[in-house]
Amino acid sequence: MHIDVLTLFPEMLSGVFNSSILKKAYEKDKFSYNLINFRDYSQDKHYKVDDYPYGGGAGMVLTPQPVFDAVEAVVKERPTKPRIVLMCPQGEPYNQKKAEELAKEEHLVFICGHYEGYDERIREQLVTDEISIGDYVLTGGELGAMVVIDSVVRLLPDVLGNKESAPEDSFSTGLLEHPHYTRPANFRGMKVPDILLSGDHAKIEAWRRKESLKRTYERRRELIDKHSLSDEDTKIWNEFNNK
């Protein structure tokens, strides 16, 4: 996968690309990326990228020319048609399903806004996806783009080792993940559940499934598609309901 990020503040992203799993994945050629300052594409003699909104009102609006030119330049460099993602509080709410969908692509282009927003023609003509990372407003699209990129790259083949397993994570299974414990078995009188020390793998799996269902029931009941629960899961779910 190749990722292009169009931003006015590339330095906001480079620290994240240069840390932890993203850094390792990049060094192992699991993906490549470019941070592109779309100000470099401005045809204005002062490299301006924003202007006052027609009709008046507060804030500045990103002009279409630098963004269109920057997108067209990165698209031309790759053989496959990219997904062009506009980071936007009005976009589709981001989730794990969308991360899994984007992880299948060869080329992703992210456009990070700033100021009051974008000229509407960018939204209408250029982008394939508009993504929001939540119902709140950030100063710019960079943090949101990094959230999306981090969650996509960790799903690419061979990015996570055995020590971190994506398929069991919360949302991947449709449930929240079960609780975890590590050494010591007794910390300040707080004990690890006996079952986890028993060595009985079948019982441990059953305990984890039940805890995962319980956690989802308690915190995010709306995640559950009851039709996809097994008979055993349904029995457990009904026990919670009847308490």
Ligand X SMILES: C[S@@+](CC[C@H](N)C(=O)[O-])C[C@H]1O[C@@H](n2cnc3c(N)ncnc32)[C@H](O)[C@@H]1O
Which residues sit in the known binding site for S-adenosyl-L-methionine?
Answer: 113, 133-138
- Write down the least CB distance from residue 170 to ligand X, Å: 20
Nearest to 122 by CA among 52, 59, 50: 50
Q: Which of residues 158-217 bind ligand X (CB under 6 A)?
A: none
Q: Give the end-to-end CA distance of the chain in Å, rounded to a whole number.
A: 48
User: Which span sits near ligand X by CB under 6 A: 22-30, 32-40, 126-134, 192-200?
Assistant: 126-134
Q: Which of residues 63-122 bind ligand X (CB under 6 A)?
A: 87-90, 112-114, 116-117
How would you class 30 by CB atoms within 10 Å of its CB: exposed for 0-12, middle for 13-18, buried for 19 or more?
middle
Instruction: Give the Å distances, CA to CA, from 49 to 18, 67, 79, 90, 117.
Output: 28, 9, 28, 22, 12
Considering beta carbons, is residue 41 or 129 the nearer one to ligand X? 129
CB atoms within 10 A of CB 73: 15
Residue sitting closest to ligand X (CB): 113
At 86 the three-state DSSP class reads: strand
Site string for ligand X, 133-162 (x = CB under 6 A): xx-xxxxxx--x------------------
Residues that bind ligand X (CB under 6 A): 87-90, 112-114, 116-117, 132-134, 136-141, 144
For the annotated catalytic residues, the residue numbers are: 89, 116, 154, 169
